Chains A and B, each alone.
Chain A
Amino acid sequence: MKIPADLIRHYLRPIVAGRGASEPDPMADLDNFNGDIREMRRRAAAAGDLSVLRLALVSLVMAPGGRLRDFAGTQYPFNDGDLEAVLRHALERAWPDDPLPDPGTELPVELADIPEDEWRAEQATDLGF
């Protein structure tokens, strides 16, 4: 499944450049990011993108494959381990009733450089039969 990388960057911006990332030591307490996680969820819910955001985050934490740094922003120098921990915390907070899938069973997600409008059109595709 392809999801526009820029859309996920947009939703992650409150996390990588918001309240928690502005703390003197952001990683000292993952709860520093709770307000940012709420904001991320609120924005995605308003746009009807909660499911797709969750799939993208699950893919990033379960099969990072060197992709995490592309979503870390520059506000705080998150290393891969930092960002994975923050995203796991975000998944637990934002979707408390949806545990992570078993390793290897996560939906393969490609965070692709594709225009959002094309992707939205694709999501509404009718099979035609």
Chain B
Amino acid sequence: MADPLATYPLARKWAEKFYAVKGWGALGAPPGSPGLEKRRTDALAAIGTIAVGRDFLPEVRRAFDGGIKTLRKAANDGTAEGDFDVIDADILALKNDVAAQGAIAAGRIAASAALATAEGRFKAATGLCEEGGLRFLEGKIKAARAAFGAAKDAATFDDARKLAAAFPAQADAAEAHARTFALWVDAAIVLLMQYPPGVDRDTADGNRIAARNAAEAKARAGDFAGAKGELDAFPGDAKAPDFTAAQAFFAKLNEYEANAADCTAALHRKIEGSSTYDKHAKTGKEAGLKNKNYAVGTQKLTDLLTWCLPRKDLGARLATYATAMERHQAYRDAVALMNTDQKAGRFVQALGQLDAIDNDPALASEKNSWKISSTLKGDRLKALLDRLPEPFKSRLQTAWDTHEDLVGKKDFAKAKAEADRIEKYFELEAVFPLKAEADAIFARSPDTKSYDYLKTYSTEGKAGRYANARKEIEAAMPLLRRLEVWLGDKAKAAVLLAALPPAPPDLRADLDKAVNDADAKAKAGNPEGAINDLAGFLKGAGYATILAEIEDWQAKDAALAKRHARVGKLMGDAKLSAPLDAALADARKPATDRLAYTESFLELVRHEAVLAAAQDFAAVRRQVMGVQGGILKAAKKDPAILDPAPATEEALDKAVKEAEALAQALKFAEAAKAFAKVRTDCEALARKAAATFEEKDQDDKTGLVSNAGHSLDRHGPDVSHPDLIRRLKTGTPPNNKTLEEKSYTGASSKFASPQDWLAGRQLAAEAAERQGIDLDAKSIMPPFDDKPIAADFTVDHGRPIDEIFLGLTKNRKQDPTTGEMVDDSTYESYQEMSGLTRAYVNFIWEFPVIKNVDWPDPKTGVVAKKDVKARDIDEYAKAWRIDKGHAADGPEMPPSIPGRWVMMQQYPVADNWDDVAKTYTKDPKGLIP
């Protein structure tokens, strides 16, 4: 946002008045006539009554505060009574503006809260809704967003609030329809198989699609009852009762799937009756999914759930006993009593019968040893051993080995001591992350150490009492976290103390005392009390205005520093970013040098606009550099691109140099325009260069089709929206040669221009070179294991480059082997996003084809002639060995591996994209720049 006050004209007016004032440091006018001084006193008193609400946005709050400071200065500087006619009028105007803004703020806050709720509901609904419902909700949320964005006064904010407030109920209705639709889809797909193949089935399928489309049309309009009516019209023949039964079966199947883990637990073989039901899931599913006997399937699943759910706790408890424990009479007795109770439906009592096992010391020890042997072994033991230093590591290993030996001998009496030792060391599993967090807090806030919250941890640990050490650090961590907050508050109070006016003196003394009192509480182990005490004091003691000033400034400064760093990265040139750094330092100075936070805040607001312009400049400059590099690189593959040569190259070079000269002269606005013109002017060249890269990547000179070179066809600027959506919904790519050709994707996207595409490729290629990857290499030399055969990058262009359709809910299909309903590779619904600034680019090492190799089929072992296009170094080496007459799995390796780098993918990135805020919420590892 270039101007954060653009939509707040009332506040902006006062910020501008503030900016216009010079000589903030100057003293006020000398005392004048009694009449003049009365006017001055009255004016200052009137200014003192203007209260700027905490509900205002920080920018608005500071702008009005700037107005107050401006008027106060005017009142102090006034030298004639007549001056105060203007000043008094301004005071009244400011008062009225603040009041009017107060009403707007109240409306904005209410609308904003309603919109936030609506956005949350929309986000949740996107993963559930079918196409019609989603489009309906999308229309509603967009309308609410637009109304909020355009609102300027209390009435229009209220209109926006009403639209947002209506959304949750609309989302509820759409989600309810989505659940109905999901059952309908699965049932319809299965029902189709009941029609004889051929005309009957094709007709039924046509009816199914027609019903689905008619329902979608009604759902799009929010007519979910009508949509259901359309779905209910299918199949509209004698199979209608079957269809109803099928939907009931799928509803029960969903219920079973949600409780499958509990059912598995309840079907423990020691629970009498379990054998009656342990095949019900399989046979129930088969009945419905394969044999289309929905009533039987539903009944089986119902019976299974009815029997299992009350017994899930019994099953879970029985699973904690090893099978070997059945040799004990006491165990068998307890299980028998448990069965008597559970068969009579006394499930609580049944569970209680098993307590006899756990209460028997010998059995409990044995149970524990079996548990240790079965659950702490393998990765869990290895992970702890890897982290433990000596001598703990050797001690744990010895205890483990001894315990396993004794368990093998069923000597559980002796094993107990080792089990206790092992458990003692496993206490440390939980200690590591807590100690790490404590260390991180100590590093961030070194003062936390002096509060001595970990008193006995180290002593207990050194004494080998790890459980005690764990207990202490577990109890201390919540306090330590809050102590860090307290120390932050204390530091803020120190800033406040420095910023307070010298009079009245009590103001400082009172705050100082409050901080010291609260700190004493923190030192006594009560950081929460310290936090609350100081907050309470500050609320009631008239510090709020200055504190708000400091907090607003700190938040603005932190946000701006982050953005500033990002723009600096985009510039990638310290000389260019130096004036921007200086401007930021200047904007900060009033706060850092004179504790004038409002003044600095408003300077930061101004800097924000400068930063936005600088980002535009940096982004277009960077892209143009990429485009030029890409064109020149492509011209090496096909010199005709630069026809007529050398004039074309020279003209491009001249235009870029002229724009760069403006940049180096720090004339960013002019440079941005010049670079933008270059960018526009070289569209045709960029188009040719991009096509050249793709053609060369497709042509692998082996006679086989390369998978590379399709990015432009599928994501290029000429791809239409319907083509993008078709790919998502059917898998048919935009460049398909036949209807059978498929290229499924989870996100279908396009670049806005060939320049965007070319710049992304080039910037990624340059990044690869910086990593030491020669994209022009023709072979890989040994040793092969540490050589990259792929390189991928996320390139941030710093400006919008593309549009994307992101797949949401998937279409469904029946697995032909298991009969289960599973997600298909195509999508029922999608979400459109725009303004994305990042592209994912990957380069892959493509191996050459080795022709006519005697290749053994991996499954059957049958050898047949094959042209092998390897997908990995191992596969290439194997084909090479066979080709050279060596044993297929022999030790020989090729002296080098020929091939080439191709760009396999380039597409816009939607990961972590917030389409409302139009920004990424996280950066991937290795983001460029």
Contact = CB atoms under 8 A, between A and B. Distances in A.
A10 B924 contact: yes
Interface string B266-300: 00000000000000000000000000000000000
B447 interface: no
B807 A25 contact: no
A7 to B, nearest CB: 7
Q: Which 10 A-B pairs have the closest CB atoms?
A: A129-B461, A122-B436, A74-B746, A74-B747, A34-B872, A125-B436, A35-B872, A79-B823, A101-B378, A107-B379
Contacts of A17: 792, 840, 842, 905
A22 B707 contact: yes
Contacts of A126: 389, 435
30 contacts: A6-B925, A10-B926, A14-B792, A17-B905, A19-B871, A22-B904, A31-B858, A31-B871, A34-B872, A35-B844, A35-B872, A42-B786, A51-B383, A55-B383, A73-B911, A74-B807, A74-B911, A76-B745, A76-B746, A77-B744, A77-B746, A80-B823, A101-B378, A106-B380, A107-B383, A122-B432, A125-B433, A125-B439, A127-B431, A129-B462
B428 interface: yes
A24 to B, nearest CB: 6
Contacts of A23: 707
Interface in A85-129: 101-102, 104-107, 116, 118, 121-123, 125-129
A60 interface: no
B745 A127 contact: no
Interface string B860-902: 0000000000011111000000000000000000000000000
B910 interface: yes
A19 B383 CA distance: 32
Given A38-B873, A122-B432, A128-B461, A101 B379 contact: yes
B471 interface: no
Given A10-B925, A81-B822, A101-B378, A129 B871 contact: no
Given A17-B840, A106-B378, 18 more contacts: A6-B922, A10-B925, A19-B871, A35-B789, A42-B785, A74-B911, A76-B746, A77-B744, A78-B746, A79-B822, A101-B377, A105-B380, A107-B379, A121-B440, A122-B433, A122-B436, A129-B460, A129-B461
Contacts of B873: 35, 38
A113 to B, nearest CB: 8
A128 B378 contact: no
Range class of the A interface residue count: 35 or more
B212 to A, nearest CB: 20
A118 to B, nearest CB: 6
A18 B790 contact: yes
A7 B806 CA distance: 23
A74 B745 contact: yes
Contacts of B458: 128-129
B826 interface: yes
Nearest to A106: B379
Nearest to A124: B436
Contacts of B436: 121-122, 125
Nearest to B846: A19
Interface in B776-833: 785-790, 792, 806-807, 810, 822-823, 825-827
B461 A36 contact: no
B806 to A, nearest CB: 7
A120 B869 CA distance: 40
A125 B431 CA distance: 10
A79 B807 CA distance: 12
A32 to B, nearest CB: 6
A20 B386 contact: no
A111 to B, nearest CB: 14
B469 interface: yes
B244 interface: no
A19 B858 CA distance: 20
Contact of A18 (B432, B825, B842): B842
A39 interface: yes
Interface string B666-708: 0000000000000000000000000000000000000000011
Nearest to B806: A74
A34 B458 CA distance: 48
Interface in A8-63: 9-10, 13-14, 17-20, 22-25, 31-39, 42, 46, 51, 55, 58
Nearest to B454: A128
A80 B820 CA distance: 14
Nearest to A98: B379
B33 interface: no
Contacts of A39: 788-790
Interface in B397-440: 428, 431-433, 435-437, 439-440
B760 to A, nearest CB: 15
B76 interface: no
Contacts of A105: 374-380
Contact of A38 (B431, B789, B910, B924): B789
A116 B457 contact: no
A2 interface: yes
A19 B904 contact: yes
Contacts of B747: 74-75
Contact of A77 (B376, B460, B788, B807): B807
B189 to A, nearest CB: 16
A75 B911 CA distance: 11
Contacts of B745: 74-77
Interface in B603-650: none
Contacts of A38: 789, 872-874
A20 B789 CA distance: 13
Nearest to A21: B905
A7 B925 contact: yes
A25 B742 CA distance: 8
Contact of B378 (A77, A78, A102): A102
Contacts of A73: 746, 911
B394 to A, nearest CB: 16
Contacts of A10: 924-926
A36 B377 CA distance: 31
A46 B787 CA distance: 11
Contacts of B554: none
A18 B708 CA distance: 11
Contacts of A118: 440
A104 B316 CA distance: 13
Nearest to B786: A42
